[in-house]
Amino acid sequence: MPKYNPKEARDTRKRKQKRIATSKKNRNLRQFIPYILIFGVIIIVGGFAIYFFISEDYNSGNGGENGGENGGENGDNNEYGTPMTFSTIDGDTIKLADNQGKVVILYFFDLPCYYCNPEAGVIADIDDAYTDSQLEIILIDVLYKDSISDLKTWRNDYNSNWDIVLDDIHHTYSTPFNIAYTPTTKILDKNGNIAKTIVGYDEGHYSTIKDEIDALLKN
């Protein structure tokens, strides 16, 4: 008969207790596996739902501008494509829809912008080439810190009576047009749809803008 060894007996009990504890832990963990899987599925489905929601919202937002361009080409829109109202630095109110039947230029700029001045010269030359019944030009200063007095002085340098709109801190006027840089010129057709967007300054912009206006006036 083997001799009783207390140390070996203790070790055997410890190993047995460890196996029992491990088995119990694994059994408890298996109980939670279905819940973990369900939670994972919810996270994945929710992630896809958020992704598609954001994508749909982004596409619909871009569709407003792209649809405006297409609508300008097709000429089948009855409602004015850009129904916005502006307040000018002279205290006047401008409704874009009141310009239905005319081509509209929206020129986005700011006073510190280096290239905004030569591009404004292009806009001034364009202004001289058309009558008030053909073309409406509205300037929108995107930098709310620019002062009204400085804007009026700047306008006088071009011998112009342009309507100038000063944007606010929330970019209420520039955000709907997705303005990221200045200068940016938006050309609206006679139905108020965005027909063309021109960013930056180039000497050739006069011909580009004039050709676009001439084409829109024929439609």
Asked if 83 and 98 touch (Cβ cutoff 8 Å), the reply is no
Last residue of a domain, one of 74, 94, 113: 74
- Residue 97 and residue 179 in one domain: yes
pTM of the model: 0.65
Show the CA angle centred on residue 55, arms to residues 54 and 61, nearest 5°: 90
- Whether the pLDDT of residue 66 is over 80: the answer is no
- Whether the pLDDT of residue 120 is over 80: the answer is yes
What is the rounded average pLDDT for all residues in the chain? 80
- Residue 212 and residue 132 in one domain: yes
- Whether the pLDDT of residue 51 is over 60: the answer is no
Element (H, E) at 149: helix 148-156
- Whether the pLDDT of residue 197 is over 50: the answer is yes
Distance between first and last Cα of the chain: 113
Residue 25 covered by a domain:
yes
Residue 80's pLDDT is: 82
**Domain containing residue 66:** 1-74
Residue 38's pLDDT is: 73
Residue 79 covered by a domain:
no
- Whether the pLDDT of residue 186 is over 90: the answer is yes
- Residue 35 and residue 2 in one domain: yes
- Residue 69 and residue 90 in one domain: no
Residue 24 covered by a domain:
yes
- Measured over the CA atoms of residue 55, residue 61, residue 62 and residue 66, the dihedral's sign is positive
Q: Token match 């990221």: residue?
A: 180
- Residue 90 and residue 191 in one domain: yes
Question: What percentage of the chain has pLDDT greater than the value 70?
Answer: 66
7-44 confidence digits (pLDDT tens) = 565 666 666 666 666 665 556 556 666 767 776 667 76
- Whether the pLDDT of residue 150 is over 90: the answer is yes
Residue 80 covered by a domain:
no
Token code pair at residue 108: 């986005």
Residue 207 covered by a domain:
yes
Last residue of a domain, one of 18, 41, 74: 74
Residue 8's pLDDT is: 62
- Residue 52 and residue 89 in one domain: no
CATH for 118: 3.40.30.10
Mean pLDDT along residues 105-130: 97
The total of structural domains in the chain comes to 2
Residue 186 covered by a domain:
yes
Question: What percentage of the chain has pLDDT greater than the value 90?
Answer: 61
- Whether the pLDDT of residue 205 is over 70: the answer is yes
